[in-house]
Amino acid sequence: MRILVLGGDGYLGWPTAMYLSGQGHDVGVLDNAARRQYDHELGTGSLVPIETLQNRVQAWREISGKTIAIYPGDLLDAEFAYATIRGFEPEAIVHFAEQRAAPYSMIDRKHAVYTQTNNVIGTLNVMFAIGEINRDIHLVKLGTMGEYGTPNIDIEEGWLEVTHKGRTDRMLFPKRPGSFYHLSKVHDSHNLEFGCRIWGLRVTDLNQGIVYGQETTETALDERLVTRFDYDAVFGTVLNRFAIQAVLGLPMSVYGGGTQTRAVIDIRDTVECIRLACETPAGAGEFRVFNQATESFSLAEMAKIVANTFPGQVDVDFIDNPRVEVENHHYSFVHTALEGLGLKPHLLSDTLLTSLFGIIEKHQERVDPAALQPSINWRQTSNLPVTRS
């Protein structure tokens, strides 16, 4: 297949592009380098040094003999989006090209507006381009389990059958997101479901859990092919933070009481889920939702897994929660669709033992301990220093 990966320079986009290319697909990547710019803005960076997109693609060509086409540009530029889709003529589009951090979206008004403008308008431009150029293009859109929030009922895969006052209907599962970032993903889902109804688009919405791990078969082939490892309190994941704190001998910082439960998935399972979704496309007019997660743990349980698997003493600190979220909540979700297509999940404990700790130990001198501390408070409308004239 011809598959265009939007956001193909990112943490997930780059390993996905290589994985699809290695599986025999003709791959192109589109990226505006925004994720690298956030590093400059925040004064942080990947724990693992990463090459430029051009060097990555060149290294992949040398090692695999396969070519990945590069389309540098921004989806907010509708003419560029249209021209790229016309030029590459994809059969499937994998959409990672969004600002992905909840804390970043909660910094202040400017960052909330940027996140929603970038994510929602960029997706609308892709949606309209598909609608006008070729409605048979299958859009595989990365959503998030965070769209659902923490409802007091089991989370179905996107849709819910409801009986109310004697009448029954099938509707999108109610959403209660926890940040302006997660809200942007909800807006995407509603826009794309509408496009399926009115234009007959083909869309798979992948509501993904927290991704952990940094290594896939392809990234391990050469140091020039590695992907990002974010650990800071804005873009890093909780598991990355815990693992780094364990290696550095710092106490693991658990927000609140630690009973908040999250869905998780191994990065190797993420790239396989994308392949499965691309190779078994949604039907015309179908808005298909898969819960792309394989396990769930409370924050305290994650900390315990890290402590139990790390070969050394690890302490835990429970600190004030900078987020506004429910503790001691029900959390159960259906995740049968992708496993029904053939996904064989990896387990969290195996990844920590075989990958994370070794990578962190190798690059621990690059860690900025101050970046591990939470700096963005959900209860404040601005988390930037006040300037006075």
Does 123 participate in catalysis according to the annotation? Answer: no
> 122 to each of 7, 98, 202, 220, 372, how far by Cα in Å?
11, 8, 18, 32, 31
pLDDT, one tens digit per residue, over 181-196 is: 999 999 999 999 999 9
Name the β-bridge partners of 143: 207
pTM of the full structure: 0.97
Q: Which of 84, 115, 150, 185 is catalytic?
A: 185
Residue 23 has a CB neighbour count (10 Å cut-off) of: 15
Q: Which of 181, 212, 231, 331 is catalytic?
A: 181
Nearest-angstrom CA–CA distance, 131 and 100: 25
**Parallel, antiparallel, or unpaired: how do β-strands 252-255 and 316-319 relate?**
parallel
Residue 354 confidence (pLDDT): 74
Question: Is a pLDDT exceeding 60 seen at residue 67?
Answer: yes
**Domain spans of the chain?**
2-372
Residue 387 confidence (pLDDT): 45
pLDDT, one tens digit per residue, over 212-231 is: 999 999 999 999 999 999 99
Residue 350 confidence (pLDDT): 82
The closest alpha carbon to 254, from 297, 295, 303, 213, belongs to 303
Q: Rounded mean pLDDT of 31-40?
A: 98
Mapping DSSP onto H, E and C, the string for the chain reads CEEEEECCCCCCHHHHHHHHHHCCCEEEEEECCHHHHHHHHHCCCCCCCCCCHHHHHHHHHHHHCCCEEEEECCCCCHHHHHHHHHHHCCCEEEECCCCCCHHHHCCCHHHHHHHHHHHHHHHHHHHHHHHHHCCCCEEEEEEEHHHCCCCCCCECCCEEEEEECCEEEEEECCCCCCCHHHHHHHHHHHHHHHHHHHHCCEEEEEEECEEECCCCCCHHHCHHHCCCCCCCCCCCCHHHHHHHHHHHCCCEEEECCCCCEEEEEEHHHHHHHHHHHHHCCCCCCCEEEEEECCEEEEHHHHHHHHHHHCCCCCCEEEECCCCCCCCCCCCCECCCHHHHCCCCCCCHHHHHHHHHHHHHHHHHHHCCHHHHCCCCCCCCCCCCCCCCC
Residues 6+ apart with CB under 8 A from 379: 324
Q: Which residue has the tokens 């994308």?
A: 274
Residue 352 confidence (pLDDT): 77
Structural fold of domain 2-372? Rossmann fold (3.40.50)
Q: Which of 144, 270, 294, 309 is catalytic?
A: 144
Does 261 participate in catalysis according to the annotation? Answer: no
pLDDT, one tens digit per residue, over 311-370 is: 999 999 999 999 999 999 999 999 999 999 999 999 998 887 778 999 999 999 999 999
pLDDT, one tens digit per residue, over 99-114 is: 999 999 999 999 999 9
pLDDT, one tens digit per residue, over 124-179 is: 999 999 999 999 999 999 999 999 999 999 999 999 999 999 999 999 999 999 99
Does 185 participate in catalysis according to the annotation? Answer: yes
Residue 384 confidence (pLDDT): 86
pLDDT, one tens digit per residue, over 245-302 is: 999 999 999 999 999 999 999 999 999 999 999 999 999 999 999 999 999 999 999 9
Per the CB < 8 A criterion, the answer to whether 143 and 208 are in contact is: yes
Name the β-bridge partners of 212: 266
Residue 303 confidence (pLDDT): 97
Q: Rounded mean pLDDT of 199-210?
A: 98
Q: Which band of pLDDT confidence, cut at 50, 70 and 90, is reported for residue 11?
A: very high
Query: pLDDT averaged over the chain?
Result: 96
Residue 389 confidence (pLDDT): 39
Residue type, 374: P
